[in-house]
Protein backbone atom coordinates (compact mmCIF):
# COMPACT_ATOMS: atom_id res chain seq x y z
CA UNK A 1 0.00 0.00 0.00
CA UNK A 2 1.39 3.39 -1.03
CA UNK A 3 0.65 6.86 0.32
CA UNK A 4 1.65 10.18 -1.26
CA UNK A 5 3.16 12.45 1.38
CA UNK A 6 5.99 14.10 -0.56
CA UNK A 7 6.21 14.61 -4.32
CA UNK A 8 9.52 12.73 -4.31
CA UNK A 9 7.66 9.61 -3.10
CA UNK A 10 6.96 9.25 -6.83
CA UNK A 11 9.75 8.51 -9.30
CA UNK A 12 10.01 10.48 -12.55
CA UNK A 13 8.74 7.41 -14.39
CA UNK A 14 5.71 7.18 -12.11
CA UNK A 15 4.98 10.86 -12.73
CA UNK A 16 5.21 10.22 -16.48
CA UNK A 17 2.74 7.35 -16.08
CA UNK A 18 0.33 9.52 -14.06
CA UNK A 19 0.49 12.21 -16.74
CA UNK A 20 -0.12 9.56 -19.40
CA UNK A 21 -3.16 8.25 -17.53
CA UNK A 22 -4.50 11.79 -16.94
CA UNK A 23 -4.22 12.53 -20.68
CA UNK A 24 -6.01 9.29 -21.51
CA UNK A 25 -8.79 10.14 -19.04
CA UNK A 26 -9.17 13.57 -20.69
CA UNK A 27 -9.48 11.93 -24.11
CA UNK A 28 -11.65 8.94 -23.10
CA UNK A 29 -13.52 9.76 -19.88
CA UNK A 30 -16.11 7.05 -20.57
CA UNK A 31 -13.47 4.32 -20.16
CA UNK A 32 -13.01 5.37 -16.55
CA UNK A 33 -16.52 6.31 -15.47
CA UNK A 34 -17.21 3.14 -13.44
CA UNK A 35 -13.70 1.99 -12.65
CA UNK A 36 -13.93 2.88 -8.92
CA UNK A 37 -17.49 1.65 -8.39
CA UNK A 38 -17.94 0.69 -4.74
CA UNK A 39 -14.82 2.58 -3.60
CA UNK A 40 -14.89 5.52 -1.21
CA UNK A 41 -12.61 8.54 -0.86
CA UNK A 42 -12.56 10.38 2.48
CA UNK A 43 -11.54 14.05 2.38
CA UNK A 44 -10.35 15.12 5.84
CA UNK A 45 -9.76 18.85 5.58
CA UNK A 46 -8.66 20.66 8.73
CA UNK A 47 -7.97 23.83 6.69
CA UNK A 48 -10.00 25.76 4.10
CA UNK A 49 -9.99 24.58 0.50
CA UNK A 50 -12.00 24.96 -2.68
CA UNK A 51 -10.01 23.47 -5.55
CA UNK A 52 -8.17 20.69 -3.80
CA UNK A 53 -11.12 19.20 -1.93
CA UNK A 54 -13.69 19.66 -4.66
CA UNK A 55 -11.37 18.41 -7.40
CA UNK A 56 -10.61 15.30 -5.34
CA UNK A 57 -14.31 14.70 -4.83
CA UNK A 58 -15.16 15.40 -8.48
CA UNK A 59 -12.31 13.07 -9.45
CA UNK A 60 -13.71 10.21 -7.36
CA UNK A 61 -17.28 10.76 -8.61
CA UNK A 62 -16.08 10.76 -12.22
CA UNK A 63 -14.39 7.42 -11.56
CA UNK A 64 -17.73 6.02 -10.36
CA UNK A 65 -16.80 6.08 -6.67
CA UNK A 66 -18.23 7.92 -3.67
CA UNK A 67 -16.95 10.50 -1.19
CA UNK A 68 -17.32 11.28 2.50
CA UNK A 69 -15.48 13.58 4.85
CA UNK A 70 -15.35 16.93 6.55
CA UNK A 71 -14.25 20.36 5.38
CA UNK A 72 -13.35 22.00 8.68
CA UNK A 73 -11.71 20.78 11.84
CA UNK A 74 -14.57 22.18 13.94
CA UNK A 75 -17.07 19.77 12.45
CA UNK A 76 -14.89 16.73 13.25
CA UNK A 77 -13.78 15.09 16.49
CA UNK A 78 -10.58 17.14 16.26
CA UNK A 79 -12.65 19.78 18.04
CA UNK A 80 -12.97 17.29 20.94
CA UNK A 81 -9.23 16.67 20.97
CA UNK A 82 -8.92 13.53 18.82
CA UNK A 83 -5.45 13.01 17.31
CA UNK A 84 -4.89 12.68 13.55
CA UNK A 85 -3.52 9.18 14.21
CA UNK A 86 -6.74 8.03 15.84
CA UNK A 87 -8.83 9.71 13.14
CA UNK A 88 -6.74 7.94 10.48
CA UNK A 89 -7.28 4.53 12.10
CA UNK A 90 -11.01 5.08 12.31
CA UNK A 91 -11.54 6.53 8.85
CA UNK A 92 -9.57 3.58 7.41
CA UNK A 93 -12.62 1.52 8.44
CA UNK A 94 -14.94 3.71 6.39
CA UNK A 95 -12.98 4.62 3.25
CA UNK A 96 -10.56 3.04 0.76
CA UNK A 97 -8.35 6.12 0.41
CA UNK A 98 -7.94 9.37 2.36
CA UNK A 99 -6.96 12.88 1.22
CA UNK A 100 -5.91 14.97 4.23
CA UNK A 101 -5.13 18.68 4.56
CA UNK A 102 -3.83 19.93 7.88
CA UNK A 103 -2.30 23.17 9.23
CA UNK A 104 0.48 21.22 10.98
CA UNK A 105 3.51 20.20 8.94
CA UNK A 106 3.85 16.41 8.97
CA UNK A 107 0.27 15.59 10.02
CA UNK A 108 -0.49 13.50 6.88
CA UNK A 109 2.79 11.60 7.40
CA UNK A 110 1.77 10.79 10.98
CA UNK A 111 -1.67 9.70 9.73
CA UNK A 112 -0.07 7.44 7.10
CA UNK A 113 1.83 5.57 9.81
CA UNK A 114 -1.44 4.48 11.43
CA UNK A 115 -3.89 4.30 8.55
CA UNK A 116 -4.57 1.01 6.83
CA UNK A 117 -5.51 2.75 3.55
CA UNK A 118 -3.44 5.13 1.37
CA UNK A 119 -3.12 8.71 2.64
CA UNK A 120 -2.69 11.60 0.22
CA UNK A 121 -1.16 14.79 1.57
CA UNK A 122 -3.48 17.52 0.34
CA UNK A 123 -1.33 20.25 1.92
CA UNK A 124 0.44 20.26 5.30
CA UNK A 125 1.02 23.69 6.81
CA UNK A 126 3.71 25.68 5.03
CA UNK A 127 5.52 22.49 4.04
CA UNK A 128 4.36 20.49 1.01
CA UNK A 129 1.49 20.10 -1.42
CA UNK A 130 2.32 17.20 -3.73
CA UNK A 131 -1.00 16.98 -5.58
CA UNK A 132 -0.80 20.67 -6.49
CA UNK A 133 2.62 19.85 -7.90
CA UNK A 134 1.18 17.00 -9.95
CA UNK A 135 -1.38 19.53 -11.20
CA UNK A 136 1.40 22.00 -12.03
CA UNK A 137 3.42 19.31 -13.82
CA UNK A 138 0.46 18.23 -15.95
CA UNK A 139 -0.16 21.92 -16.75
CA UNK A 140 3.48 22.41 -17.79
CA UNK A 141 3.40 19.21 -19.85
CA UNK A 142 0.21 20.22 -21.67
CA UNK A 143 1.14 23.87 -22.14
CA UNK A 144 4.94 23.69 -22.71
CA UNK A 145 5.37 20.07 -23.89
CA UNK A 146 8.53 19.50 -21.81
CA UNK A 147 10.04 19.81 -18.34
CA UNK A 148 13.60 20.25 -19.61
CA UNK A 149 15.47 23.49 -20.39
CA UNK A 150 12.90 25.71 -18.68
CA UNK A 151 13.57 28.94 -16.83
CA UNK A 152 10.98 28.98 -14.07
CA UNK A 153 10.19 32.15 -12.12
CA UNK A 154 8.47 31.63 -8.78
CA UNK A 155 7.07 34.86 -7.40
CA UNK A 156 5.48 35.95 -4.12
CA UNK A 157 5.46 34.09 -0.83
CA UNK A 158 8.21 31.52 -1.33
CA UNK A 159 8.63 31.01 2.40
CA UNK A 160 5.18 29.82 3.42
CA UNK A 161 3.95 28.79 -0.04
CA UNK A 162 3.92 24.99 0.24
CA UNK A 163 3.17 24.55 -3.46
CA UNK A 164 6.47 26.29 -4.25
CA UNK A 165 8.50 23.88 -2.11
CA UNK A 166 7.00 20.78 -3.73
CA UNK A 167 7.31 22.23 -7.24
CA UNK A 168 11.01 23.04 -6.77
CA UNK A 169 11.59 19.48 -5.51
CA UNK A 170 9.82 18.01 -8.53
CA UNK A 171 11.39 20.22 -11.21
CA UNK A 172 14.88 19.82 -9.77
CA UNK A 173 14.90 16.28 -11.23
CA UNK A 174 14.69 17.47 -14.85
CA UNK A 175 17.51 18.57 -17.15
CA UNK A 176 18.77 22.13 -17.32
CA UNK A 177 15.96 23.71 -15.31
CA UNK A 178 16.84 27.15 -13.96
CA UNK A 179 14.95 28.85 -11.13
CA UNK A 180 14.47 32.56 -10.59
CA UNK A 181 13.13 33.08 -7.08
CA UNK A 182 11.32 36.41 -6.83
CA UNK A 183 10.25 37.50 -3.36
CA UNK A 184 10.73 40.12 -0.68
CA UNK A 185 13.66 39.32 1.60
CA UNK A 186 11.31 38.18 4.40
CA UNK A 187 9.56 35.65 2.15
CA UNK A 188 12.52 33.92 0.53
CA UNK A 189 12.60 30.15 -0.11
CA UNK A 190 13.58 28.38 3.15
CA UNK A 191 17.18 27.19 3.35
CA UNK A 192 16.15 23.54 3.65
CA UNK A 193 14.62 23.69 0.16
CA UNK A 194 17.88 24.98 -1.30
CA UNK A 195 19.97 22.53 0.77
CA UNK A 196 17.88 19.50 -0.18
CA UNK A 197 16.95 20.10 -3.80
CA UNK A 198 19.06 22.82 -5.41
CA UNK A 199 22.56 22.85 -3.97
CA UNK A 200 23.34 19.08 -4.10
CA UNK A 201 22.68 19.06 -7.84
CA UNK A 202 24.26 22.45 -8.54
CA UNK A 203 21.02 23.65 -10.01
CA UNK A 204 21.22 27.19 -11.27
CA UNK A 205 19.05 29.65 -9.37
CA UNK A 206 19.01 33.31 -8.51
CA UNK A 207 17.10 35.25 -5.90
CA UNK A 208 15.76 38.71 -6.60
CA UNK A 209 13.11 41.10 -5.34
CA UNK A 210 12.49 42.55 -8.79
CA UNK A 211 9.97 40.82 -11.04
CA UNK A 212 10.17 43.29 -13.92
CA UNK A 213 13.90 42.91 -14.51
CA UNK A 214 13.70 39.11 -14.87
CA UNK A 215 10.35 38.63 -16.60
CA UNK A 216 11.86 38.62 -20.15
CA UNK A 217 13.89 35.49 -19.29
CA UNK A 218 11.04 33.33 -18.07
CA UNK A 219 9.36 30.35 -19.73
CA UNK A 220 7.05 29.94 -16.74
CA UNK A 221 5.91 32.53 -14.24
CA UNK A 222 4.43 30.84 -11.16
CA UNK A 223 2.64 33.49 -9.09
CA UNK A 224 1.60 32.84 -5.49
CA UNK A 225 -0.50 34.56 -2.86
CA UNK A 226 1.03 35.87 0.37
CA UNK A 227 -0.05 33.24 2.92
CA UNK A 228 -1.81 35.41 5.45
CA UNK A 229 -2.81 32.51 7.73
CA UNK A 230 0.84 31.60 8.34
CA UNK A 231 1.98 35.07 9.44
CA UNK A 232 2.58 35.74 13.11
CA UNK A 233 1.77 39.37 12.73
CA UNK A 234 -0.96 41.07 10.67
CA UNK A 235 1.12 44.23 10.17
CA UNK A 236 3.77 42.23 8.29
CA UNK A 237 1.11 40.68 6.08
CA UNK A 238 -0.36 44.09 5.26
CA UNK A 239 3.08 45.45 4.42
CA UNK A 240 3.92 42.56 2.08
CA UNK A 241 0.60 41.52 0.57
CA UNK A 242 0.62 43.82 -2.45
CA UNK A 243 4.34 43.64 -3.17
CA UNK A 244 3.76 41.93 -6.53
CA UNK A 245 0.80 42.64 -8.76
CA UNK A 246 1.06 41.22 -12.26
CA UNK A 247 -0.52 43.57 -14.81
CA UNK A 248 -0.69 43.63 -18.63
CA UNK A 249 1.98 46.40 -18.59
CA UNK A 250 4.43 44.16 -16.76
CA UNK A 251 3.85 41.42 -19.33
CA UNK A 252 4.90 43.57 -22.29
CA UNK A 253 8.52 42.43 -22.09
CA UNK A 254 7.69 38.76 -21.35
CA UNK A 255 8.08 36.04 -23.98
CA UNK A 256 5.00 35.42 -26.12
CA UNK A 257 5.34 31.74 -25.20
CA UNK A 258 5.66 32.29 -21.44
CA UNK A 259 2.96 30.59 -19.35
CA UNK A 260 1.51 32.14 -16.21
CA UNK A 261 0.56 29.60 -13.55
CA UNK A 262 -0.92 30.15 -10.08
CA UNK A 263 -2.11 27.45 -7.67
CA UNK A 264 -4.99 29.80 -6.73
CA UNK A 265 -6.74 31.27 -4.81
CA UNK A 266 -5.68 34.62 -6.22
CA UNK A 267 -5.95 37.65 -3.99
CA UNK A 268 -4.36 40.74 -5.61
CA UNK A 269 -1.22 39.35 -7.15
CA UNK A 270 -2.62 38.95 -10.67
CA UNK A 271 -4.80 41.73 -12.03
CA UNK A 272 -8.05 40.39 -13.53
CA UNK A 273 -7.09 42.18 -16.74
CA UNK A 274 -4.38 39.51 -17.21
CA UNK A 275 -7.03 36.75 -17.33
CA UNK A 276 -7.69 37.23 -21.06
CA UNK A 277 -3.98 37.11 -21.96
CA UNK A 278 -3.31 33.87 -23.87
CA UNK A 279 -0.34 33.25 -21.59
CA UNK A 280 -2.61 32.99 -18.53
CA UNK A 281 -3.24 29.29 -17.92
CA UNK A 282 -4.23 29.35 -14.23
CA UNK A 283 -7.89 28.58 -14.79
CA UNK A 284 -7.10 25.64 -17.10
CA UNK A 285 -4.64 24.51 -14.43
CA UNK A 286 -7.58 23.86 -12.06
CA UNK A 287 -9.16 21.50 -14.60
CA UNK A 288 -5.89 19.62 -15.06
CA UNK A 289 -5.92 19.21 -11.27
CA UNK A 290 -9.04 17.07 -11.44
CA UNK A 291 -7.62 14.76 -14.12
CA UNK A 292 -4.28 14.19 -12.42
CA UNK A 293 -6.07 13.44 -9.14
CA UNK A 294 -8.18 10.86 -10.98
CA UNK A 295 -4.95 9.26 -12.22
CA UNK A 296 -3.46 9.36 -8.71
CA UNK A 297 -6.52 7.73 -7.12
CA UNK A 298 -6.33 4.90 -9.70
CA UNK A 299 -2.64 4.38 -8.97
CA UNK A 300 -2.92 4.35 -5.18
CA UNK A 301 -6.01 2.11 -5.25
CA UNK A 302 -4.10 -0.14 -7.65
CA UNK A 303 -6.99 -0.28 -10.07
CA UNK A 304 -4.66 0.70 -12.92
C1 LIG B 1 -2.73 26.38 -2.41
C2 LIG B 1 -2.55 25.79 -1.03
O3 LIG B 1 -3.53 25.37 -0.41
O4 LIG B 1 -1.39 25.73 -0.61
N5 LIG B 1 -4.04 26.27 -2.88
C6 LIG B 1 -4.41 25.15 -3.57
O7 LIG B 1 -4.44 24.07 -3.04
N8 LIG B 1 -4.66 25.28 -4.88
C9 LIG B 1 -2.19 27.76 -2.54
C10 LIG B 1 -2.70 28.80 -1.60
O11 LIG B 1 -3.55 28.54 -0.74
O12 LIG B 1 -2.24 29.92 -1.75
What is the C-alpha separation between 83 and 135, in angstroms, rounded?
A: 30
Looking at residue 103, its pLDDT comes to 96
Using the predicted structure, report yes or no on whether residue 304 has a pLDDT greater than 80. no
101 counts as catalytic? yes
Using the predicted structure, report yes or no on whether residue 66 has a pLDDT greater than 80. yes
52 counts as catalytic? yes
Residue 232: pLDDT band with limits 50, 70, 90: confident
pLDDT tens-digit readout, 32-64? 999 999 999 999 999 999 999 999 999 999 999
The dihedrals phi and psi of 115, each to the nearest 5 degrees, come to: -70, 150
Looking at residue 41, its pLDDT comes to 98
pLDDT above 90 covers what percent of the chain? 96
Q: What is the mean pLDDT of the chain?
A: 97
- Choosing from 129, 165, 243, 259, the catalytic residue is 129
Ligand 1 proximal residues by C-beta, below 6 Å: 51-52, 123, 129, 132, 162-163, 225, 263-265
What is the C-alpha separation between 301 and 304, in angstroms, rounded?
A: 8
Do the beta carbons of residue 299 and residue 14 sit within 8 Å?
Answer: yes
- The structure's pTM equals 0.97
User: Which ligand 1 atom sits nearest the alpha carbon of residue 224?
Assistant: 12
User: Which ligand 1 atom sits nearest the alpha carbon of residue 162?
Assistant: 4
Q: Rounded to the nearest whole angstrom, what is the distance from the C-alpha of residue 163 to the centroid of ligand 1? A: 7
**Residues in Cβ contact with 35 at an 8 Å cutoff, skipping those fewer than 6 apart:** 63, 64, 298, 303, 304
pLDDT tens-digit readout, 241-288? 999 999 999 999 999 999 999 999 999 999 999 999 999 999 999 999
Q: Rounded to the nearest whole angstrom, what is the distance from the C-alpha of residue 171 to the centroid of ligand 1? A: 18
The dihedrals phi and psi of 89, each to the nearest 5 degrees, come to: -60, -45
Amino acid sequence: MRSLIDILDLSKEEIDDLIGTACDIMDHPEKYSEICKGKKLATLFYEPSTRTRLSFEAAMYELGGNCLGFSEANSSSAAKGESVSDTAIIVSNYADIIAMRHPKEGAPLVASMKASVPIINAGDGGHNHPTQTLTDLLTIYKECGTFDNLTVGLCGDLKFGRTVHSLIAALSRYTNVKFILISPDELKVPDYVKDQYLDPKNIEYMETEDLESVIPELDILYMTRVQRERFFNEADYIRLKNRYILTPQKLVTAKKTMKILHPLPRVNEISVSVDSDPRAVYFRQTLYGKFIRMALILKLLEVQ
